[in-house]
Structure 1
Amino acid sequence: MRSMTRMIAIIGSVLLIAVQSRLYVPPTDVAGPGRIPPDVIAQLRFLRGALERGAGEEMQQLFPEGFFFSHVLYGLAWVEVGASVAPDDPLREQAITGAWWAADRLDSPASLMPFSPALDPPFGVFVVGWGTWLRTGILALEAPDRRDPDRVARVIDDCQALSAAFARSSTPFLTSYPGQAWPVDSVVGIAALRRCNDLFELRYDDVIARWITLAQERLDPATGLLSHRADPRTGQPLDSARGSSQSVIARFLPAIDPIWGQEQYRRFRAQFVTTVAGLPGVREYPHGQEGNGDVDSGPLLAGVSLSATTVTLGAARAWGDTRLAEPLRFGGEFLGMGITVGDEKRYALGVLPVGDAFLVWSKTAPLWRTRPPDQSFDPVAPFWWRLPLHAISLMLIALIWLPFRRVPHDHDSRRRLRV
């Protein structure tokens, strides 16, 4: 029994040491033009298998967009992979195939079931915005003479529907569900229109410019950021800005208006980024404001949302903010306990595939495809931010071995008494 207990202690100590090594994974800037993080393809293999086994339907039981998000993020990660390699690289064709597989499943009954065809545009700005962003991304990877005419026509129709809906609306924030509007969903829709503009020269500049003006008139007065929810009739904020939506907004604003986008990103960074026990994270509510977790944020730990933290990794990379992106990547490897089995990599034992989808989408965000890393951002954590985590692990190892400390045997004690 003592030998077995000692073996368990050895295994536990090795695991704790292995966990600490995750704080020193290769930095995120290994991904740049023509390069991708080395474990991304292994993550995508796991996700594809999980989705084929029904992970999307399982995630749908957790929140209404579970199926849709699981697939669209898988497809978007493939788009980023494809954009990071040369056109003649075999990985480009693999990326296109994987992304179209996901895009086609967005039209399935399971994907569209929570949404209403009576909305403007049909099924709402969430479905049309994210779907168009994915499909335009795939078409941008394909040579013009190889694009499927039916898919091109579908994308143009969706772009026209989005543009018309924004033009008709008196508010910049279209509905995703009847009577419910989230500004983040309209941000994605406008970003999709911008890419339609660039891809097909469809002339949506006026619609986009009007949207920016209306959105800037309806910022959350407390933070100066877009609100989490908005009145579907007026677009005025119904609550404050929140990390789970701001992290997505920050990822898409570079495609809409880089100047305003960077101002918004800096505001978000200053009011939501924090550290807990040395690890950087993103709060669900601004500093000085507390609230409860919900389906958008997930459970909160000391006010930090794991979902917002994961998505902010991609936003930080999109803005070239390595001073935030690198510790977020390190922390994600530490907390997520990513493991590779065969040629597949999963996090948290793969029990929440939509979380893996958000993470791989964030890890594939282009760090400096169009600009070098911006060193003007202040450091998020001090240089010694890993030390508290090392100290905690050392204490746990000490506790594991405490029962094995040397104590005098009974015959040693009797010998001393005779003397």
Structure 2
Amino acid sequence: MGKIVRVLLAALVSAFAASALLRFHAPVSGAERQLAHLRAELDDGAGEDAQRLFPEGYFFLHALYGLAWVDVGRHARDKGEAVREIRWALDRLDSPDGTAPFSAGLAPRYGVFYAGWTNWLRGGLLSLRRDPDQVRRFESGSREIARAFDASATPFLPAYPGQSWPVDSTVAIASLRLSPDHAGTVRAWVDKARQRLDPATGLLPHVTDPGTGEPLQGARGSSQSVILRFLADVDPGFAREQYLRFRDLFVDSPLHLGPAVREYPKGTDGPGDVDSGPLPLGISFSATVVSIGAARVNGDGALADALAAYGELAGVPINTWHTKRYALGVLPIGDAFLVWANTAPDRATGIDGGVSPLWKAPLTVALLLLAAAPWSRRLRKRRHQQTDRPDEGLVVEPVVPERL
């Protein structure tokens, strides 16, 4: 019985390593199945559960679900399902649960975080199908956002009373680029933002003074990964400058096992929080995931593919005929960030990610050794048994010396 158990355990270890090796080398797929899993989770209350874990959990989960459908819908022959699901997500964002964490007294209403992400999602819907009511709401939202930026001395509007994160304003400005009516506001924003970069890194800061826009906390990976996803739509030249600095300062290779994204610049460390998650070896899993999309829209396909391969390896996805989920599906917001990142459009801008074509070799060798390890001891033992076994049935004739 014990021998059978050992063989079964060896087979399981080998199967796990082989499966990991296949995921590591296969292209990422299954966005619609992942969205099917997320929709089922949202219908089962995942948004409310996320709100208990994150300040904007309900909002983010629905917004990312809708945005992933925008990217999927762009490649779909029949856009009906994507349009229907995006409208459903927008209805949830407009609901009392969607607006609950935010202040209606801010300009724009509910703050720049809420206004920017909602306007960007509505613009994405209109890129798939024109709808008079949604056009009216998008144009109204865009005017409100533009007025708030035009009236502000700082390019970084508050998301909450007295609190300002540049990433939120970047999303809102990107939504204005979807319309030709606010080009002046966008140009003014870029000029002001360039004057308020983090002096230590030359990147947009993580937190700023809501009155002046001056940096209060330097650049961090969890916000840079989102900023760079949207900055490419605001000003491609500025985005390229920022992206190249980000890649030099934040993309690392812990233990020389391939690229990942730090929360703090190389040479510095800091505490993790709700945005970054835990920081083993300084690496932020959330920043690494979101940087897949940032790399794609900035033309760094090599880095995007490498980061995505890690997601498939470490996330241990479970596939069925209809769904796909990562990490056993215990954290739907993680699935939402992954599908949004993996569906980002590829843009060829000539950026060389500097990722060696052999970067997968160490982990590939490690997985092959793991697959073989359970059997190597058994093979050695069998070989020794064959060597040590006395010969059976062999008659040795005595040697008789020839007579001289």
Equivalent residue of 2:358, what SS? coil
CA deviation vs aligned residue, 1:187-210 (integer Å, no higher than 9, x gap): 001011111x24xxxx21222121
Q: What is the identity, as a one-letter code, of the residue corresponding to 1:249? A: I
Which residue number corresponds to residue 164 of structure 1?
147
Structure 1 residue 49: deviation in Å?
Answer: 0.7
Say whether the 8 Å CA contact 1:184–1:245 is kept in structure 2: yes
Where does residue 247 of structure 2 map in the other structure? Answer: 269
Q: Are the counterparts in 1 of residues 301 and 353 from structure 2 also a CA contact under 8 Å?
A: no
Deviation at 1:375, TM superposition (A): 3.9
Aligned partner (choices 197, 209, 220) of residue 187 of structure 2: 209
1:129-169, CA deviations, whole angstroms, 9 ceiling, x for partnerless residues?
000000011012114xxx142x3322222112111111111
Q: 2:238 & 2:381 partners in 1: Cα distance?
A: 65
Tell me: CA distance 1:352–1:169, structure 2 relative to 1, closer, same or farther (3 Å).
Answer: same
2:375 & 2:107 partners in 1: Cα distance?
A: 63
- What is the aligned partner in structure 2 of residue 191 from structure 1? 174
Matches of 1:182 and 1:343, distance apart in 2: 38
Q: Is 1:177 matched up with 2:155?
A: no
- Determine the C-alpha separation between the residues in 1 that align with 2:39 and 2:353: 38
Give the equivalent residue in structure 1 for 2:110: 123
- Out of 33, 40, 56, the residue aligned to residue 31 of structure 2 is 40
Q: What is the deviation of 1:251? A: 0.7
Residue 99 in structure 1 maps to residue 73 in structure 2? no
- Map residues 363-374 of structure 1 onto 2, 5 A cutoff: 363-368=342-347, 373-374=348-349
Indicate which of 248, 252, 268 corresponds to 2:226.
248
Conserved 8 A contact 1:313-1:363: yes
Amino acid of the residue matched to residue 184 of structure 1?
V
User: What residue identity is the alignment partner of 1:155?
Assistant: F
Q: 1:376 to 1:191 in 2, by over 3 A?
A: closer
Q: 2:352 aligns with which of 349, 360, 377?
A: 377
Deviation of 1:393 (Å): 3.0
Q: Which residue of 1 aligns with 2:19?
A: 18
- Which structure 2 residue ranges, 5 or more long, are not aligned? 390-404
Within the alignment, does 1:295 sit opposite 2:269 as a pair?
no
Is this contact kept in 2: 1:171–1:214, CA < 8 A? yes
Q: Whole-Å Cα distance in 2 between the matches of residues 4 and 251 of structure 1?
A: 49
Aligned partners of 1:7, 1:338: CA distance in 2, in Å? 23
**Aligned with residue 68 of structure 1, among 45, 59, 62:** 59
Tell me: CA distance 1:117–1:23, structure 2 relative to 1, closer, same or farther (3 Å).
same
Question: 1:349 deviation in Å?
Answer: 1.0
- The equivalent of 1:32 in structure 2 is none
Q: Distance in 2 between matches of 1:299 and 1:310?
A: 14
Q: Tell me, in whole angstroms, the C-alpha distance in 1 between the residues paired with 2:320 and 2:99.
A: 33
Q: Please report how far the alpha carbon of residue 56 of structure 1 lies from its aligned counterpart in structure 2 after TM superposition.
A: 1.1
Distance in 2 separating the partners of 1:162 and 1:57: 28
Aligned-residue offset at 1:399: 5.5
Instruction: State how far apart, in whole Å, the 1-side matches of 2:100 and 2:376 are.
Output: 56
Q: How far did residue 387 of structure 1 move?
A: 2.5
Deviation string, structure 1 residues 374-393 (Cα, Å, up to 9, x no partner): 4441423x333223223433
User: Structure 1 residue aligned with 2:50, among 53, 56, 59?
Assistant: 59
Query: Is the CA contact (8 Å cut-off) linking 1:336 and 1:348 kept in structure 2?
Result: yes
Q: Which amino acid aligns with 1:190?
A: I
For residues 98 and 6 of structure 2, what CA distance do their matches in structure 1 show?
49
Whole-Å separation in 2 of the counterparts to 1:387 and 1:255? 35
Residue type at the aligned position of 1:365? A
Q: CA deviation at 1:398?
A: 5.7
CA contact (8 A) 2:71 2:343 kept: yes
- Partner secondary structure for residue 160 of structure 2: coil
SS of the residue corresponding to residue 187 of structure 2 reads helix
Preserved CA contact (<8 Å) 2:299 2:351: no
- Taking a change above 3 Å as real, the CA distance of residues 74 and 378 of structure 1, as seen in their structure-2 partners, is closer
Encode CA deviations 1:230-252: one digit per residue, 9 max, x unaligned.
Answer: 01111000011011110111111
Structure 1 residue 355 corresponds to structure 2 residue 334:
yes
Q: Could you tell which deviates more after superposition, 315-324 or 383-392?
A: 383-392
> In the alignment, residue 192 of structure 1 is paired with which amino acid?
S
Q: Give yes or no for the alignment of 1:79 onto 2:70.
A: yes
In structure 2, C-alpha distance between the alignment counterparts of 1:269 and 1:59, rounded to whole Å = 30
SS at match of 2:362: helix
Q: Give runs of aligned pairs for residues 291-330 of structure 1, distance below 5 A.
A: 291-330=270-309
* 2:18–2:371 Cα contact (<8 Å) kept: no
| Structure 1: distance between partners of 2:26 and 2:304 | 13
Query: 1:18 deviation in Å?
Result: 1.0
Query: Who is 2:9 aligned against?
Result: 8
Could you tell me how far apart the structure 2 residues matched to 1:3 and 1:301 are?
Answer: 38
> Residue 162 of structure 1: SS of its match in structure 2?
helix
Contact 1:322–1:374 under 8 Å retained in 2: no
Distance 1:403 1:54 in 2: 49
SS at match of 2:39: helix
CA contact (8 A) 2:209 2:215 kept: yes
Report sequence identity in percent.
48
Partners of 1:235 and 1:4 in 2: how far apart? 64
TM normalised by structure 1 equals 0.87
Bigger CA radius of gyration: 2
Aligned length: 385
Q: Which residue of 2 aligns with 1:30?
A: none
